Structure 1
Amino acid sequence: MDKFTRNYSIVLGVVVIALVAWWISSIWQPRVWEINDMLEADAKLAEYPYQFRMVSLDNGVATLSSPRNFKVPAIRFLEIIHPELAGLAQDDPKVIAAQQDLIDHQKRAQGLVLGQPDVERVTWQLDVQWLADHGVQVPNAS
């Protein structure tokens, strides 16, 4: 192997190792895993059809997954987990009760996460993957 090829191979190898190290450090989030374990262990949250999960923790800001936002209204999610709600009016008592149940579970997840000493604030991120797995296409942000 000539000198140029050897040096090129060494530089390329260092770059690849650096990129792999950066990638591993970006996905290595043991604190997120710990908090997700805590959320999974909560009896009240475990009974709900949707599992709220922490996506990231950055400088005291916890991002939690949510099955709803302004793009995907709660009723769309609720019709998936409670098919009997399909076609009912928004003001139907069954729909209102299901919405309140969702709110209660979301607030519980938020409260548990905010109870952690290293969490100052919670933001929400739409769980596009869960929705896609259940046949819901999320409109693109434009």
Structure 2
Amino acid sequence: MTLRTTIAAPFRHTRKSGMKKNELVYYYALDRKWMSTDQANQLLRRAEEDGLLKQESGIFSPAFDTAAVTIPVGFKPTSAIFERNDPMQELIGRIARARKVEETEIVAEMNKVIREGFDTHLLPPAALVVLAKKYHVSCDDLRDPLRQALRKA
């Protein structure tokens, strides 16, 4: 995961477990020249929202084991780290690829599950998980983002 790698990089490089916001912005924008200071601030906000960074008394620390992340030599994050991936769209795509059908067919089947199987008492993210299990499509890595989508619904 590029976002996880980008967040782990300053902590691994400096061998620190916690850093101030200005240290992180400096690392991303000035030291590595990976992005602008505005983008670095946006990255930190996104990482906090996604649960990759936690902040306590003005000190940011990773919410995951940075030692488990491999940072390739010459790593430089792409602009993809600023894009939000929709976990529902990702799962629809996975199921469609596994079944070799169009995504619209999966959406139609999802709606059918909601309507006929649960009398409209099931939210779309949960219906997609039902379909993923039915077709033996892995969705374990999307579990947390799908839960967040359920909370927002």
TM-score w.r.t. structure 2 length? 0.24
Which structure features the higher share of strand residues? 1
TM-score w.r.t. structure 1 length? 0.25
The structure whose Rg is larger is: 1
